[in-house]
Chain A
Amino acid sequence: MTTASREPQVAFDNVSYWYPERAEPALADVEWTVPEGAFVVVAGPSGSGKSTLLRCLNGLVPHFAGGRFGGRVRVGGLDTRRHGPRALSRSVGFVFQDPESQLITNRVEDELAFGMEQLGVAPLTMRKRVEEVLDLLGIAPLRGRDVATLSGGERQRVAVAAALAVQPALLALDEPTSQLDPWGAEEVLTALTRLNDDLGLTVVLAEHRLERVVGHADRLRLLPVPDSTDGVLDGPPRDVLAAMDPTMVPPLVSLARRLGWTPPPLSIKEGRDRLRRDQSDPAPPPPDPSPPGGSPSVEFRNVTLGYGRRAVLRDLDLEARPGELIALMGRNGSGKTTLLRTVIGLHRPSAGQIAVCDRDATRLAPADLARDVGYVPQNPGALLFAETLRAELAFTLKHHLGQGLDPDAVLASLGLTHAAERHPRDLSGGERERAALAAVLVAAPRVLLLDEPTRGMDAARKRALGETLVRLRADGTTILLATHDVELVAGIATRVVLLGDGELVADGPPRAVLSGSLTFATQINKLYGGRFLTVDDVLAGLAVADPRR
């Protein structure tokens, strides 16, 4: 870590903040310093105030958000009470979570130049910096593109590049990689590390998936669950990880803690060193259970979508049976979402047959297919409209002629009983995702399609969702889950289908597809190799090999 010789880059002095019309403070008596040139990760469950904390850095809180603000924040020597976000835009770059709505102009190059234009940077300097950030984030091929045609990952890299073009001293990023595929996320994080190392850029990054970022960070600040008595943990990542709630830590750290490795390794490389000194040799995991039988509820036969070189799905064969939880994986744009949408009839194949619950899906309207199929789109906000969550469920039931499950039971099973009478829009991000799921599940679909349900979810909520899905699968629902989340897939999926450019690349049990993969291996698999995927695999293997443990 760079030792700060001067005033720290960021200094919070007894900061408290209340959003307008809220009695509970979003921040209470926060003391925090970020040294110049540090790479700080801010973690914590949804609703713990990560976004609020970050928005204090460039004065969006309180200048944009309103409300009551007490104490003092100094950023680069400037008091944020005195200098609002516009004035601070010179020294603080900000990247938001949502790639859809944070780009301002409609061309990539204009977007990169926007901030500099506002600050009156000389045109020649501007040209040079645009070229630099294009290369820095690897987006030079996108320079002339219309923003509307970019994928989420591309947009997010443009957003980071645009923030960097102003050459701020501090870059604040609010979960910038939560919607990216692992490679897109890695590229953004690598770029950040390079900027931090080489140029001394101070980086403050809010992130759920600690396994991706702790290796890069100098400091980790863990915010407690709201309404809990726990305090904030702030310090070097190793110390914080050793002290934090065991269910929140990355698999590698979780394993280290179970096996009593101190200090916990932060990277796979460190883990391997530790493993060499460890004499234990876990027994390999048991063979995969045989797949469930029965007639398939979703059947793709030679399905092609689109034409010629622009085909989105090519000659795809896929069968999904009741009781299967199939994870669809592959990079952004590999056809995962398209495949899900084809099952519910939102896309028509140009060739091939699709049978869904013994009906010809190529001839039925989505509303007809909805009798058997439930679809939770990537953005749950597209679904929710009613005044209360209960009304939302009643609406679905009405369109299924009243056939379905008891709404209260569905809400209870998803842990939403407390929210039944609340407006769906007032729910937190994770709750909203579950609300959309409840609105779909209440019709008791035989096939459930989920598109990236865990994006932006914290570890606890992700685990709860995983448990719900496992229960549904055990009850005989066919689940197709498009996701990038390798650890989640390793924990709950019965099958993994890997798509590449609309073609089926691999199809098999998670152990067969994920283990040994360069990009899809879990942390535990990278460490132990073989067919180990999860912490539980290793612990069970150790128990077999050495019953005393």
Chain B
Amino acid sequence: MTDRPVRLEPRAWLLWGLAAGVPPLVGRNPFVLGATLLAVLAVRTVWVGGGDTAAEAPNAGAWRAVVRLAVLFAAIGVVFNVLTVHAGDRVFARIPDGVWIVGGPLTLNALVYGVLSGLAILILVLVGTTLGAVVDGVALLRLLPARLATVAVAGSVAWAFVPQTAAAFGEIREAQAARGFRPRGLRDLLPLVVPLLTNGLERALTLAEALESRGFGAVGPAGHDLQRVGTPSPKPETQSSLAVRDQWPAMLTALGLTGGAVGAYLLAVGQPRPAVLTLGAAACALGFAARASRATVARRTRYRPHRWTRADRLVAAASAILLIIELTVLRLDPSGFRYEPYPSLAAPRVNLLLLAALALLLAPVIASRVDPKTDPAVATVLPPTLGGRGGQS
């Protein structure tokens, strides 16, 4: 069936993303960055594709916009770096000192640093958008343990909500334009934002009703539904204090996520604060654990759990090996990853083992050639009576 794209196990993709993300995160060695960029681009071409093969990834268009934005930001970063950082030994031009901020020597060092930083960010964005396009977010969330199933569904609903909201915004913009409306300033956004919010709330309400009627969070015939019967609605004060007591795991999780995001940002801009990251992760884990321990366990089953195919195993194994090599190099020869153009421009170090190992990033390209029909793991997914209907292809 052509409309059923071959997908790799999300965990395999995550490993790949991790392996591809290490070089831009830990250093600016141009050889390493260049090799990573080439590998990521190759994978992208095969899996995300352009134009006609977009059937592989339905939301590829949106991701392409993100990449364009990243290229723009990288370019701005280069210019900004050259104009404001006047350090280094290779001066190629000079702006009169009197000019505010940008005045002073323009150095090749700053240009190189800017280009390499931009490259690192671009690679991260490319890896992220590739994952975004090829990994089924819902499938990923389904990997969460059963106790967190409610979190998983909430997340997958949110995942579906984003493109819906984007589509709704387009619809509103067009409807207002057809009414003669030309937005000129920020205040003019009201006719666009108000319907978006109210429509969004209405949609959220319908969705919540649908979730409720489809038994989401059902806990069997005698769940907490029972306690609500006939009890008069509690007074507002009681309600809010109850809410705080009930919601602290969620708050802790939110706090942890924020901490994690800040930590990840600091890491990305080259000022790693492991403490923030660790604390964030710990808070998240604690919050999740608290939630899970409180949730009444619902008996829940899974439709079509993903089986590891030969292609999945190939990508996962290659990525894992690469990760090990990367971490080893990082420990034994960190300069293989790193490059510092200040104070003087010198040739970057070459770690041949690392460069060769980066070829492992191409595993998804090879995996895309594996014919799933010959894969025994795929054949076992379907009971034999249904196998002929082309459910898997």
Contact = CB atoms under 8 A, between A and B. Distances in A.
Interface of A: 58, 60, 63-64, 66, 81-90, 92-94, 96, 98, 100-107, 109-110, 113-124, 126-127, 130-131, 143-149, 162-163, 166, 341, 344-346, 365-367, 369-371, 373-375, 377, 379, 381-386, 395-396, 399-400, 425, 439-440, 443
A60 B209 contact: yes
Contacts of B72: none
Given A346-B177, A385-B192, 11 more contacts: A87-B223, A101-B164, A104-B207, A115-B215, A144-B4, A146-B58, A366-B178, A382-B168, A385-B190, A385-B191, A395-B181
Contacts of B178: 344-346, 366-367, 369-370, 373-375, 377
B223 A126 contact: no
Contact of A396 (B1, B159, B179, B225): B179
B300 A124 contact: no
B375 interface: no
B179 A440 contact: yes
Interface string B210-221: 111111111111
A35 B202 CA distance: 34
Contacts of A399: 179-182
B195 A96 contact: no
Contacts of B298: 118, 120
Given A131-B389, A346-B174, A385-B195, A443 B210 contact: no
Contacts of B230: 81
Contacts of A102: 206-207, 209-210
B175 interface: yes
Q: Which secondary structure dominates chain A's binding surface?
A: mixed
B373 interface: no
Interface of B: 1, 3-4, 58, 136, 138, 153, 156-157, 159-160, 163-164, 167-168, 171-172, 174-182, 190-192, 194-195, 198-199, 202-203, 206-221, 223, 225-226, 228-230, 233, 298-305, 383, 386, 389, 391
Interface-central residue, A124, A145, A148, A373, by most chain B CB under 10 Å: A148
B214 A89 contact: yes
B301 A123 contact: yes
Contacts of B299: 120
B304 A109 contact: yes
Given A86-B212, A86-B218, A143-B391, A367 B58 contact: no
B373 to A, nearest CB: 16
Contacts of A101: 164, 202-203, 206-207, 210
A94 B213 contact: yes
A45 B38 CA distance: 64
B177 A147 contact: no
B225 A84 contact: yes
Contacts of B195: 381-385
Contact of B303 (A58, A86, A113, A379): A113
27 contacts: A60-B212, A84-B228, A86-B212, A87-B218, A87-B221, A94-B210, A101-B164, A101-B203, A101-B207, A101-B210, A104-B216, A105-B160, A106-B160, A114-B216, A118-B214, A118-B298, A120-B298, A126-B301, A145-B3, A370-B179, A374-B178, A384-B195, A385-B194, A385-B198, A439-B179, A443-B179, A443-B180
A120 B4 CA distance: 26
Interface-central residue, A82, A126, A341, by most chain B CB under 10 Å: A82
Contacts of A131: 386, 389
Contacts of A119: 215, 218
Given A104-B207, A367-B181, A86 B301 contact: no
B203 to A, nearest CB: 4
A344 B179 CA distance: 10
A124 B383 contact: yes
A67 to B, nearest CB: 10
B375 to A, nearest CB: 18
Contacts of B190: 385
B221 A89 contact: no
Contacts of B167: 148
Contacts of B305: 123
Contacts of B4: 143-144
Nearest to B211: A104
Contacts of A385: 190-192, 194-195, 198
Contact of B225 (A87, A92, A143, A369): A87
Contact of A117 (B180, B199, B221, B303): B303
